């Protein structure tokens, strides 16, 4: 059994906050899909295929809530989950920002973009710190 690593309280806190961030997003997007879509895109989500895709994207966010909790438990052991989560946050932020730039989403989406980019910066710090301490990454 791999014991919890308690030597990185900052990273434990970081990933607990990341988990909470994702749970909040999923709480709106997955559990109240129509409302969230309406608020971000200023139009009704009436297409059933679009509905499932949009809800599925928020389902991924819900799964990363669980992933970040796992990383928070042992930030040294679960670098692979952190890497996938960080890359996901970066690509999601870029995609969401592109929707905003194209006028397809309103400024509410910038909360998601800025929040995810802040997490990306902290995740880079996390990897640099582990690398400098010669901890195995991924």
Element of type H or E holding 23:
helix 9-29
Write out pLDDT tens, residues 22-40.
Answer: 999 999 999 999 999 999 9
pLDDT category, 95, cuts 50, 70, 90?
A: very high
Residue 3 has pLDDT above 90, yes or no: no
Average pLDDT, the chain: 95
Number of domain units in the chain: 1
Query: What confidence tier does 2 reach under pLDDT thresholds 50, 70, 90?
Result: low
Domain membership flag for residue 45:
yes
Q: Does any domain span residue 2?
A: no
**pLDDT tens, residue by residue, 47-84:** 999 999 999 999 999 999 999 999 999 999 999 999 99
Q: Is residue 29 assigned to a domain?
A: yes
Q: pTM, whole model, 2 decimals?
A: 0.92
Asked if residue 64 belongs to a domain, the reply is yes
- Asked if residue 35 belongs to a domain, the reply is yes
Has residue 4 been placed in a domain?
no
d(CA 93, CA 4): 31
Q: Confirm whether 1 is domain-assigned.
A: no
Per the structure, the complete domain to which residue 125 belongs is given by: 9-132
In a domain, 98, yes or no: yes
- φ, ψ of residue 135 to 5 degrees: the values are -85, 145
Q: Is 21 left (phi over 0), alpha (psi -120 to 50) or beta?
A: alpha
What are the phi and psi torsion angles at 3 (to 5°)? -75, 155
């Amino acid at each position: 059994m791999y014991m919890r690593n308690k030597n990185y309280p900052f990273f434990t806190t970081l990933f607990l906050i990341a988990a909470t961030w994702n749970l909040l997003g999923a709480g709106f997007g997955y559990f109240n899909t129509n409302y969230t879509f309406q608020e971000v895109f200023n139009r009704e989500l009436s297409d059933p295929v679009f509905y499932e895709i949009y809800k599925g994207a928020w389902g991924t966010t819900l799964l990363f809530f669980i992933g970040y909790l796992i990383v928070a438990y042992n930030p040294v052991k679960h670098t692979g989950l952190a890497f996938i989560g960080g890359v996901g946050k970066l690509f999601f932020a870029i995609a969401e920002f592109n929707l905003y730039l194209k006028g397809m989403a309103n400024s509410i989406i910038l909360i998601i973009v800025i929040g995810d980019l802040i997490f990306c910066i902290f995740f880079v710090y996390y990897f640099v710190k582990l690398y400098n301490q010669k901890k195995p990454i991924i």
